[in-house]
Chain A
Amino acid sequence: MTPAGSLLAARDLRKAYGRTSALDGVDFSVHPGEVVAVMGPSGSGKSTLLHCLAGIVRPDSGTVHYDGHVLTAESDARRSALRRRDFGFVFQFGQLVPELTCLENVALPLRLNGAKRRAAEATAREWLGRLEVDDVHGKRPGEISGGQGQRVAVARALAVRPRVLFADEPTGALDSLNGERVMTLLTDAARDTRAAVVLVTHEPRVAAYADREVVVRDGTARELAGTA
């Protein structure tokens, strides 16, 4: 059973790396248009939870339901297709292809979904504008600042109009001013498109942008009181 109205839900997720247990019976759910922050100290298993929810990593046991599908039962190819089509990702660093321009980077997931180059780049240009980095469209990632790069990454994640956006420490490599700007743009854009956001962070200031907070500690998750 999944919580009523949830878009993405996990039940009794367990995952170990060798003898180290990363997830030990985690339940989780997120609704369309909802921003959920997953918090916890380093090594608590929050990134592993994100990877399991996104179908990047298969849990040892437990199930992940997405929009009526049992994600954990799907083949690798099906999960990859789902990630291309329905999910978006923002990571802390090292996510932009260094050889491609910012415009090409944003257009990349659209092209991987089969869009024509011109159409993909038109959409990418629009998203760069929305994230206020249209002036760097012709530059390569190595030629722009960290804040600009992260905004390009957010634009890339949102360009496919994902139903779920996974963000893993999206501001971890930015100063507070840039971090806040990125978070504002990310959450505003997600809410505009009614995308659910799973936001992994260890910073309460970042978590404050979420509608709800879940704390992961020693492989177990619990809802933070008062945020639901």
Chain B
Amino acid sequence: MTLLDTRGTGNRAGGPPHRPPGGPAGWLRDLALGARFAVTGGREGWFRTALSAVGVGIGVAVLLLAASAPTLLNAWHGREKARENLGQLHEPRASDRTLRYAQADTSFHGDAVRGRLVRPDGAHPPVPPGLRRLPGPGEMVVSPALRDLLAEPGSGPLRDRLDYKVVGTIGDSGLLGPQELTFVAGMDDRSAGESYRIDRFGKTFDPQPPSARLVLLIVLACVVLLMPVMVFVGTAVRFGSDRREARLAALRLVGADIPTTRRIAAGEAVVGAGLGLAVGLLIFLVGRQAAGAVTLWDVNVFPADVLPAPALAALIAVLVPAVAVGVTLFAQRSVTAEPLGVVREAPVRRRRIVWRLVLPLTGLALLSSLVWEPDPVWFRAVRLGVGSALLLLGITALLPWLVEAVVRRLHGGPVPWQLAVRRLQLSGAAANRAVSGITVAVAGAIALHMVFTTFQAGFAEAYAKSAARPVIELSGSAADAQRTRDALATLRRTPGVTWAHGTIDALAGRAGDRGTRGADGHLSADSATVVVGDCAELRHRAPIGSCRDGDVFVTEPRNGTGRAPGSVRPGARLNLNPPDGYGEAGPARPWTVPDSARRVTAVRHPGEDLPGDVLATPGALSPALLRAPEMKLRVGYDKAQETAAVERIRTAAFHANPGMRELSAIDNPHDRQYAGVRTAVYVGAVVVLLLIGAGLIVSTVEQLRERRRLLSVLNAYGTRRSTMGWSILWQTAIPVVLGLALAVTAGVGLGTVLLTTTETGVRVDWPVVASVTGLGAGVILLVTALSLPPLWRMMRPDGLRTE
């Protein structure tokens, strides 16, 4: 039968009773009735429904964001692919439709600035997306973010560096995100050596396989962020379940059968989930407008790019109501709404720990095996995801056992404590459910923080070591020795610079070695490093003693300093145009190391390159003969004025050659990257904790309402308000404290296992552990404080009135 079918109940005319309509029509009517109950419970009913909707909504918003990842990455990579050309396999000949192209990246106070230089060969060159025309010499077009940065008062050094005339702004199609700092400038002769010819924009996107660390972080972040969301969605749809069960019992009294009450419950759950979907969509649409302002891990995207994949969005739209109904029906498996009340069918049995350990131990085993088994990245990712999920899910299975085991052993104590403990002994399920979400969220947050903190600290140590010596290394193309001398002179004149050295380095092959082609098609040959520089500069590479222009030296490394002794000897024949690259080998350019070349001992200073195999003065070997000669500059600066000096050196280097690359690690970009992600994880954990706190308030207030009469009786007995207030505090605190203890243990354990798998030193982020634990304590106090007004209200004598 279905409920409240007026045709079925009426028999006033004395005829045969109407047969209650069954089948889909009747079921739909029951579902509709349940839906009506969800929105007709007065202010309190609306509050419960709204809280469920907000809880589910936040979960849906996170799921929609996760579902946007494929679209977002496609859009991001698509933009990068469309605007870039890293060089064509066969460089095109100069024509009306080609241009020379070079990179001119720089950085300003740790912010990366992407720079590209262009010089058209003719009147109709290709134009990258976002530009209407290519800038001419001395001109540049900039991204809106760079335009704003250049306009800032503190950006004087950057304005000096990019001293082009701004003639336009790059449109969105030429940017990865609205906060990207990028420019396209007209090329002059300084960068000619860096440039290559292209006839189109758009590269073949060939992503590198992600590193093990990146895979770990991505998989872990997905699992850790989505697990609490799913647990919370499951909890949120059960807000107000006690009241719902009481209502179903009332419906049984007027003739509804058990399947009907289940359909009504399902209808009620679907409304909560449906509203949750709507709220989630709203949160997502509003939230994605802020996407442009957020830079996470140096990734900044346009709001329009944050678009869920249609199939995944459809899956969410179906899955969330299905989960809501499933959870509701699952929760009712041990409950039968009878006409005179709710009967809990499940016998009170002591929870067993054995099967509850299966999930976390399986997870732990999967994660631990990552330590010693070298697998393909995808298989590691699967095991990582499944292992982390099982471990976190296992916590939710362990928590009820832990609460029950601890509470069972608690005896005595003051009256509030006794009331709370007894309440938990009798029915701690609602509190356990809510706290499960806290536990998963906190454990996940702690594990993620541990991983991020350790990685961040590792980078910080490396950068601190690198930056301990006030030296910047620079590298750029070197057409001739004079240009290197000029660059060194410019750098030496720069305020804050204490010294500067530089040479021209290139590779040379053995004469007759045609090279071998690797599996990836790359042609390479056994090579030696040739270094060309004035005597004064060569002395910084090796103790060469007396020297004059025209001299040549070969190095004999000490143990462990490089190539085998005697690898290049006086009289050796070298090819200065060695086979290297994906194309065909160029014509050999033979050069013989003079017999007069002196042997010197190579000394490798800590943090410096190998000294080179052959050291030659320009009089002995012209840099013009070398293939892809590069100037290698080392610039010392005054540590006391590090920030200003470093920016001035960058400006001087840019002016010497805009294509000059900075090789040293002065700014630590990872610090901000990791700090941003850690903040995001922390904010996420706080939001989940607050939501769960809201859920605990609802369940506490519902319990109080059920006990309205008892509270009035206790008030009549003269029970102090503080006694009942403390009782609520303990009732909330006991499961939350146990949950947090479990979360800290599991979080630190998970973090330790994950860091061990990447062979990284384990570092526990104790401040975060303390602050998340403190937040948990805050939730306890918040729940208690917000439960007190309804408690006072329900302790009024009104509850004693029965008439």
Contacts and interface: CB of A to CB of B under 8 A. Distances in A.
Contacts of B801: 47
B329 interface: no
Given A92-B802, A97-B419, A117-B412, A56 B716 contact: yes
Interface in A86-107: 87, 89, 91-92, 94-100, 104
B717 A109 contact: yes
A159 to B, nearest CB: 11
Given A47-B802, A94-B710, A99-B422, A54 B716 contact: yes
B426 A112 contact: no
B800 A91 contact: yes
A149 to B, nearest CB: 13
B794 to A, nearest CB: 13
A212 interface: no
Interface in B385-434: 412, 414-415, 418-419, 422-423, 425-426
A54 B713 CA distance: 12
Contacts, number: 76
Interface in A27-65: 42-43, 47, 51, 54, 56-57
Nearest to B427: A99
Given A42-B803, A99-B423, A111-B415, A94 B713 contact: yes
Contacts of B802: 47, 92, 169
Interface stretch (A2-10, A75-83, A179-187, A213-221): A75-83
Contacts of B714: 97
Interface in A104-148: 104, 108-109, 111-112, 117, 140
A108 B718 CA distance: 11
Interface string B716-729: 11111001000000
A1 B710 CA distance: 36
A84 interface: yes
Contacts of A57: 797
B797 A51 contact: yes
A54 B797 CA distance: 11
B773 interface: no
Contact of A83 (B414, B418, B710, B717): B717
Nearest to A160: B717
Contacts of A24: none
A194 B267 CA distance: 60
A191 interface: no
B718 A100 contact: no
Nearest to A117: B412
B717 A112 contact: yes
Contacts of B418: 100, 104
B720 A80 contact: yes
A47 B419 contact: no
B709 interface: yes
A11 interface: no
B341 to A, nearest CB: 11
Contact of A89 (B419, B423, B713): B713
Nearest to B424: A99
Contacts of B710: 94-98
A76 B230 CA distance: 47
B718 A85 contact: yes
A117 B412 CA distance: 7
B419 A99 contact: yes
A43 B414 CA distance: 39
Contacts of B800: 47, 51, 56, 91, 168
Nearest to B709: A94
Contacts of A42: 803
Interface string B789-803: 000000001001111
Contacts of B720: 80, 112
A19 B423 CA distance: 40
B715 interface: yes
Interface residues of A, number: 34
B800 to A, nearest CB: 7
B696 to A, nearest CB: 18
B713 to A, nearest CB: 5
Contact of B718 (A47, A92, A112): A112
A100 B421 CA distance: 10
Contacts of A79: 718
A83 B718 contact: yes
Interface in A163-183: 168-169
Contacts of A104: 418, 422
Interface in B334-368: none
A89 B800 CA distance: 12
Interface in B756-803: 797, 800-803
A78 B694 CA distance: 35
Given A47-B801, A56-B800, A94-B710, A89 B717 contact: yes
B423 A81 contact: no
Contacts of A84: 717-719
A109 B426 CA distance: 21
B797 A56 contact: yes
A109 B414 CA distance: 12
Contact of B419 (A85, A92, A100, A109): A100
B797 to A, nearest CB: 5
A84 to B, nearest CB: 3
Q: Which of A79, A99, A109 has the most CB of B within 10 A?
A: A99
A100 B422 contact: yes
Contacts of A56: 715-716, 797, 800
A93 to B, nearest CB: 8
Contacts of A108: 415, 717
Most A CB within 10 A of own CB, among B714, B800, B801? B800
B22 to A, nearest CB: 37
A84 B419 CA distance: 18
B803 A95 contact: no
Contacts of B723: 112
Contact of A95 (B423, B425, B713, B718): B713
A52 to B, nearest CB: 10
A156 to B, nearest CB: 9
A99 B420 CA distance: 9
Interface centre among B412, B415, B419 (most CB of A within 10 A): B415
Residue of B423, B425, B802 with most chain A CB atoms under a 10 A cut-off: B802
Interface in B562-597: none
A104 B412 CA distance: 10
A43 B803 CA distance: 6
B408 to A, nearest CB: 13
Given A47-B802, A94-B709, A112 B415 contact: yes
Nearest to A142: B426
Contacts of B422: 97, 99-100, 104
Given A42-B803, A104-B418, A108-B415, 17 more contacts: A51-B800, A56-B716, A56-B797, A80-B715, A83-B718, A84-B719, A91-B716, A92-B802, A95-B709, A97-B714, A104-B422, A108-B717, A111-B415, A112-B717, A112-B720, A117-B412, A168-B800
9 smallest A-B Cβ distances: which pairs? A84-B718, A83-B718, A99-B422, A94-B709, A80-B718, A95-B713, A56-B797, A99-B426, A99-B423
Interface of A: 42-43, 47, 51, 54, 56-57, 79-85, 87, 89, 91-92, 94-100, 104, 108-109, 111-112, 117, 140, 168-169
17 contacts: A43-B803, A47-B802, A51-B716, A54-B716, A80-B720, A84-B719, A91-B713, A98-B710, A99-B422, A99-B423, A99-B425, A104-B422, A108-B415, A109-B717, A109-B718, A111-B415, A112-B720
